[in-house]
A and B are shown apart, each in its own frame.
Chain A
Amino acid sequence: MNAHLRRTFYFFVAGFVSLVGVLAYWQVYAQESLATDPSNSLQSQRVQSVPRGLILAGDGETELARSEEQDGGTYERVYPEGPLYAGITGYWSTRYGASGIEIGENNNLSGNGEPETLDELLNQVSGGPQAGNDVELTLDPELQRAAYDGLAASSTGRGAAVALNPQNGEVLSLVSYPSYDPNNIDENFSDLIEDPDNPLYNRATQGLYPPGSTFKVITAAAALKEGVEPSDTFRDNGTYETPGYTVYNYQAKSYGEVTFEEAISKSINTIFARVAYEYVGNQTLAQTAYDFGYGDTYEGFPIPVAQSSLGDIPPEEWVKGNIAQISFGQGPVTSTVFEMAQVSGAIANDGNLMDPRLVREVRSPDGVILDQPTSSVRQNVLDEETANTLTDMMESVVEDEETTARIPGVKVAAKTGTAENPAGDPHSWFISFAPADDPEIAVAVMVENGNEGYKQALPIARRMMETYLKSQGELPNESTTAQPPAQPAQPPSESTVPTTQPAQPQNADPFAPFRAPNQSPGRNPTQPPSQPSNQPPGQPPNQTPGQPPVQRPGS
């Protein structure tokens, strides 16, 4: 009988070994595919069972995001400031993924990173709950509020504003408007996706717009490098001819004999086209723009930034018509508002472009500082002398022309932009920094279809600079009452500015937050998608031969 017993025993052994095999199949071979199975909610349960770290503003007090414990031991993400910081914090959803800092700093916030303190190590070894680390940002709450309110009150209610500390690269405010409430994102997500104003779209970092005349500071920088002096005189008779394309000034004005400095303060397109073509050249202009950050995806910045671009034609193939258009920021040039703030900051900081930073400090839940990024120069764009000369030229913009941008007691350097685009009224641009002699804040503001730069973007930028300088003690507080109203002197009866526009930008991509920076749509959202990327030589872009020139860009 023993032989039979042994045989049965072998049968049982085979059964137990098979069970181990089945287990190994599930736990090793099929583990990954099961973890990502759509009906498997374990990962989101796991995520919800651990409190994520706080996201704090730069004052170290204002909570931008925190995890609140619910009945049943799970945590819900709460954004006490609502839509005000949504463009930076992003949202955190177990159904729709995450965006902004929530995903960019997820390793810190989730507590899934490498253990950094003894407590964390003990928790990880013992399998105990690992609360996420707190992330303190560089944002200034007052400034953020000023920028947000300013954009909310703008004529079209669509735009973006970015402010930096030019000396260390800290982002002081970053606003995309309209925004959304990241609280209860699960319930509102489908509505937000269908909203024609695309509130989920980050207009500050993802939106690509023609920068218009604000780009002239880059052309001017290139010209100064090539030996053009601010006092050099040029003659403008209202047009600048290229084969098949004629450059006009804004509102078809003609200025006669002017200096280069006057050309920037009066924003004379024809002189910039001529200087770019005759004195600068394709390679220097392109290289200067690249040094300022065009073509850069700002890898390492915690939220994705779209690549600002000079178009698809390589600089060596630019014809006269191309460089003429690029010199004043039209044609194929597209830029994020974030990038133009970098440009402003680089000029302000003696020609040194700093690494943009949004995270000031990462702390463990018990307050141990885990990471404290230091400031570093990203690129030396201009030598100090050139940068100071350019600053003087930008000061003349405010002193001589855009007087509404003046802030008593503080020198302001600035440049306006009125960017023609095929989607409607021009985009209103303003870049600036102050105090011009020792800059503490650099700003870029853009209001979609807001018309002239001084009308919509300028007052917002001025209000931001004032707010920040006051909080830094650079301006007396009582000056608020002494100031003229923040709105431009022009009566607001610009009835030609429609208050409701079709969805802008047309190619707005609501999924942009989910994309890695290098996947961001390269196409200018305000350009028609059918625009040919390679045009025959001699044929200027965006211009049908034989048609009378209609472009009058730049202010």
Chain B
Amino acid sequence: MTQRASIPMALALIITTLGFATLIFVQEAKSPPLIYGAYYAGTMILLYLGVRIWLPHADTLLLAIVTLLTGVGLVMIYRLTYEVPGVENLATTQAVWILVGSGALTLTVLLFRDYQKLFAYKYLLALAAVVLVAMTFTPLGYEVNGARLWLNLGPVNLQPSEFARIALVIFFAGYLADTRDLWAATSRSFMGVQLPALKYFGPVALVWAASLGLLVFEKDLGSSLLFFAVPLLMLYAATGRIAYIILGTLLFAVGSYATYLLFPHVQLRVSAWLDPWSDPDDAGFQITQSIFNIADGGLTGTGLGEGFSQTIPEVQTDFIFSTIASELGLLGATALILAFLIFVYRGMKIALLAEDDGSKLLAFGLTAMFALQTLVIVGGVTKAIPLTGITLPFVSYGGSSVVGNFIITGLLLVVSENAGKQPVEEDKEAGEYATEKVTA
């Protein structure tokens, strides 16, 4: 799995630098705190070099993609918050979060080099995940925009679901790897679907239901969707039974309809998705403004800093992709989507090349989480699917999200290191192909 990525790394940093240079020119901005830019570039370079030393067989192209995405995110956050009262420091805060995320990645790489140990603690991790999410219902938790997603832990505010989901993927990977063979030994069937013995199915269903239930009551629709879909995909990957997907989709349909009936905020989201144009000043405001701005970009975009997407509520977090599509156009937005797809491709490659079931499922689960999150939020802001408030990985402003995604990257890196110790011919070709794609 050895993959060097010095040139992609350099390109990612050059793109970021050019982005800032353009903004300073266009917005006639005072120089942004250059020292933060230097911290950022230095952090990413050190991170790359460190991983190359500690994990010589790892797929460092992932880091180049992370550099590109965080860099574009920084440029966009700076562009959207420059001299905007109240949020003028978000770009420097985000730079600090990237620093923290890099630290978390380094720790992950150093501590969990032998990530198989993690599977031994899978039940503990599952419990920790459920407890983390449940903590938002204690006095420590608080609501933002009607959703109770946040924990106030003294100096820092934390979105626990961003970390709980990593723990859950580890749990499912470990558990499904252990019991994979037993799932086939079924005794009963339900609606033509062969169900495994409750003994094996039970823990999965329990953890799944608990975390999902908590998130639904937190009104965190985006995370609920991910928590539902990722274990389902992992179950399919482990067993190869398409019936699980079908059954899951049915469950999803029933569950969605139930939440639609139960929660007014879900009804509001759905009606704003179906017909935002009927109420463009209120319920449909966010999505219509997003569409207007995306359309305004056209093929080549308005140019950095020349769009009007600042007026979209939550633009620097959930709707940052609207700004990118508006100012960089269809071409720029497609390039960014391709960067996400390359990350997903490399993640899948790691899963394919990993030796054991646990590693495969772990890499796959993390990659699927990343891919689905990107699809759900980009689909949401482009009105392809109903909007659910989640971040665009690495690009959106948000500390928990950035740190969480760095940890995901760290885990993928250690799995790839493990897989890379046995070089495979197919991998080399694939690696070269991917490098070309990035540099092209």
Beta-carbon contact of B298 and A20 below 8 Å: no
Beta-carbon contact of A13 and B341 below 8 Å: yes
Beta-carbon contact of A40 and B330 below 8 Å: no
Cβ of A19 within 8 Å of any chain B Cβ, yes or no, is yes
Q: How far is the CA of A127 from the CA of B302 in the complex (A)?
A: 8
Cβ of B47 within 8 Å of any chain A Cβ, yes or no, is no
Q: Which of B54-62, B193-201, B202-210, B233-241 contacts A (4 or more CB under 8 A)?
A: B233-241
Beta-carbon contact of A39 and B26 below 8 Å: no
Q: How far is the CA of A51 from the CA of B374 in the complex (A)?
A: 39
Q: In the complex, what residues of A have CB within 8 A of residue B288's CB?
A: 39
Q: Which of A4-12, A170-178, A294-302 contacts B (4 or more CB under 8 A)?
A: A4-12
Q: In the complex, what residues of B have CB within 8 A of residue A24's CB?
A: 330
Beta-carbon contact of A23 and B348 below 8 Å: no
For B25, the closest partner residue in chain A by CB is A126
Q: In the complex, what residues of A have CB within 8 A of residue B383's CB?
A: 22
B244-292 with Cβ < 8 A to chain A: 277, 280-281, 288, 291-292
Cβ of B147 within 8 Å of any chain A Cβ, yes or no, is no
- Closest chain-A Cβ to B41's Cβ sits at a distance in Å of 24
Instruction: Identify which of B22, B26, B236, B308 contacts A8 (C-beta below 8 A).
Output: B236
Instruction: Identify which of B293, B340, B371 contacts A42 (C-beta below 8 A).
Output: B293
Beta-carbon contact of A20 and B368 below 8 Å: no
Q: How far is the CA of A28 from the CA of B325 in the complex (A)?
A: 12
Q: In the complex, what residues of A have CB within 8 A of residue B325's CB?
A: 23, 26-27
Q: In the complex, what residues of B have CB within 8 A of residue A27's CB?
A: 294-295, 297-299, 325, 329-330, 333
Q: Determine the main DSSP class of B at the interface with A.
A: helix
Q: In the complex, what residues of A have CB within 8 A of residue B337's CB?
A: 16, 19-20, 23
Q: Mark A380-413, 1 if CB is under 8 A from B, else 0.
A: 0000000000000000000000000000000000
- Closest chain-B Cβ to A497's Cβ sits at a distance in Å of 53
Beta-carbon contact of A19 and B375 below 8 Å: yes
Q: How far is the CA of A28 from the CA of B331 in the complex (A)?
A: 11
Q: How far is the CA of A16 from the CA of B22 in the complex (A)?
A: 28
Question: Which of B295, B352, B371, B382 counts the most A-chain CB atoms under 10 A from its CB?
Answer: B295
- Closest chain-B Cβ to A94's Cβ sits at a distance in Å of 13
Cβ of B88 within 8 Å of any chain A Cβ, yes or no, is no
Q: In the complex, what residues of A have CB within 8 A of residue B304's CB?
A: 127
Question: Which of B329, B333, B383, B384 counts the most A-chain CB atoms under 10 A from its CB?
Answer: B384
Q: In the complex, what residues of B have CB within 8 A of residue A12's CB?
A: 341, 344, 348, 368, 371, 375
Q: In the complex, what residues of B have CB within 8 A of residue A6's CB?
A: 348, 352
Beta-carbon contact of B351 and A5 below 8 Å: yes
Q: Mark A35-51, 1 if CB is under 8 A from B, else 0.
A: 10101101001100000
Beta-carbon contact of A5 and B364 below 8 Å: yes
Cβ of A287 within 8 Å of any chain B Cβ, yes or no, is no
Question: Which of B296, B333, B357 counts the most A-chain CB atoms under 10 A from its CB?
Answer: B296
Beta-carbon contact of B360 and A28 below 8 Å: no
Beta-carbon contact of B360 and A26 below 8 Å: no
Beta-carbon contact of A127 and B306 below 8 Å: yes
Beta-carbon contact of A28 and B345 below 8 Å: no
Q: How far is the CA of A387 from the CA of B340 in the complex (A)?
A: 79
Instruction: Identify which of A2, A42, A126, A128 contacts B352 (C-beta below 8 A).
Output: A2
Beta-carbon contact of B308 and A16 below 8 Å: no
Q: How far is the CA of A22 from the CA of B321 in the complex (A)?
A: 13
Beta-carbon contact of A18 and B384 below 8 Å: yes
Instruction: Identify which of B26, B236, B330 contacts A4 (C-beta below 8 A).
Output: B236
**Known interface pairs A42-B296, A128-B26; A26-B382 also in contact (CB < 8 Å):** yes
Q: In the complex, what residues of B have CB within 8 A of residue A127's CB?
A: 22, 26, 302-306
Q: How far is the CA of A16 from the CA of B382 in the complex (A)?
A: 12
- Closest chain-A Cβ to B334's Cβ sits at a distance in Å of 5
Q: How far is the CA of A359 from the CA of B296 in the complex (A)?
A: 33
Beta-carbon contact of B240 and A34 below 8 Å: no
By size class, the interface of chain A is: 20 to 34
Q: In the complex, what residues of B have CB within 8 A of residue A3's CB?
A: 240
Q: Mark B341-376, 1 if CB is under 8 A from A, else 0.
A: 100110010011000010010001000100100110
A135-194 with Cβ < 8 A to chain B: none
Q: How far is the CA of A254 from the CA of B407 in the complex (A)?
A: 109
Q: Mark B2-30, 1 if CB is under 8 A from A, else 0.
A: 00000000000000000000100110000
Beta-carbon contact of B237 and A4 below 8 Å: yes
**Known interface pairs A39-B277, A39-B281, A128-B26; A23-B382 also in contact (CB < 8 Å):** yes
- Closest chain-B Cβ to A163's Cβ sits at a distance in Å of 44
Cβ of B42 within 8 Å of any chain A Cβ, yes or no, is no
Cβ of A498 within 8 Å of any chain B Cβ, yes or no, is no
- Closest chain-A Cβ to B302's Cβ sits at a distance in Å of 7
Q: In the complex, what residues of B have CB within 8 A of residue A28's CB?
A: 298-299, 330
Cβ of B98 within 8 Å of any chain A Cβ, yes or no, is no
- Closest chain-B Cβ to A37's Cβ sits at a distance in Å of 7
Q: How far is the CA of A20 from the CA of B333 in the complex (A)?
A: 8
For A38, the closest partner residue in chain B by CB is B280
Beta-carbon contact of B237 and A5 below 8 Å: yes
Q: How far is the CA of A46 from the CA of B344 in the complex (A)?
A: 37
- Closest chain-B Cβ to A430's Cβ sits at a distance in Å of 53
Cβ of A1 within 8 Å of any chain B Cβ, yes or no, is yes
- Closest chain-A Cβ to B428's Cβ sits at a distance in Å of 18
Q: In the complex, what residues of A have CB within 8 A of residue B294's CB?
A: 23, 26-27
Beta-carbon contact of B295 and A19 below 8 Å: no
Cβ of A121 within 8 Å of any chain B Cβ, yes or no, is no
Cβ of B378 within 8 Å of any chain A Cβ, yes or no, is yes
Cβ of A31 within 8 Å of any chain B Cβ, yes or no, is yes
- Closest chain-B Cβ to A313's Cβ sits at a distance in Å of 52
Beta-carbon contact of B333 and A23 below 8 Å: yes
For A43, the closest partner residue in chain B by CB is B296
Question: Which of B240, B299, B334 counts the most A-chain CB atoms under 10 A from its CB?
Answer: B334
Cβ of B423 within 8 Å of any chain A Cβ, yes or no, is no
For B376, the closest partner residue in chain A by CB is A15
Cβ of A252 within 8 Å of any chain B Cβ, yes or no, is no
Cβ of A30 within 8 Å of any chain B Cβ, yes or no, is yes
- Closest chain-B Cβ to A361's Cβ sits at a distance in Å of 29
For B340, the closest partner residue in chain A by CB is A16
Cβ of B313 within 8 Å of any chain A Cβ, yes or no, is no
- Closest chain-A Cβ to B372's Cβ sits at a distance in Å of 8
**Known interface pairs A19-B337, A20-B337; A1-B238 also in contact (CB < 8 Å):** yes
Beta-carbon contact of A42 and B375 below 8 Å: no
For B331, the closest partner residue in chain A by CB is A27
Q: In the complex, what residues of A have CB within 8 A of residue B357's CB?
A: 1
Cβ of B50 within 8 Å of any chain A Cβ, yes or no, is no
Q: How far is the CA of A46 from the CA of B351 in the complex (A)?
A: 48
Instruction: Identify which of A9, A19, A37 contacts B379 (C-beta below 8 A).
Output: A19
Beta-carbon contact of A35 and B26 below 8 Å: no
Q: In the complex, what residues of A have CB within 8 A of residue B296's CB?
A: 31, 34-35, 42
Beta-carbon contact of A9 and B344 below 8 Å: yes
Q: In the complex, what residues of B have CB within 8 A of residue A18's CB?
A: 384
- Closest chain-A Cβ to B320's Cβ sits at a distance in Å of 15
Q: How far is the CA of A24 from the CA of B337 in the complex (A)?
A: 13
Q: How far is the CA of A6 from the CA of B292 in the complex (A)?
A: 36
Beta-carbon contact of B352 and A5 below 8 Å: yes
Question: Which of B297, B337, B341, B344 counts the most A-chain CB atoms under 10 A from its CB?
Answer: B341
Q: How far is the CA of A23 from the CA of B298 in the complex (A)?
A: 9
Beta-carbon contact of A8 and B292 below 8 Å: no
Q: How far is the CA of A170 from the CA of B133 in the complex (A)?
A: 78
- Closest chain-A Cβ to B425's Cβ sits at a distance in Å of 16
Beta-carbon contact of B375 and A16 below 8 Å: yes
Instruction: Identify which of A9, A22, A23, A40 contacts B292 (C-beta below 8 A).
Output: A40
For B241, the closest partner residue in chain A by CB is A4
| A-B contact sample (12 more), CB < 8 A, given A23-B382, A27-B329, A31-B298 | A9-B345, A12-B344, A16-B338, A16-B371, A19-B379, A19-B384, A23-B294, A23-B330, A23-B333, A27-B330, A28-B298, A127-B304
7 contacts between A and B (CB under 8 A): A5-B352, A23-B325, A27-B295, A27-B330, A28-B298, A28-B330, A35-B296
- List the 9 shortest-distance A-B pairs measured between CB atoms, nearest first: A127-B303, A34-B295, A39-B280, A27-B330, A9-B348, A12-B371, A15-B375, A40-B292, A4-B237
Residues of A within 8 A of B (CB): 1-6, 8-9, 12-13, 15-16, 18-20, 22-24, 26-28, 30-31, 34-35, 37, 39-40, 42, 45-46, 126-128
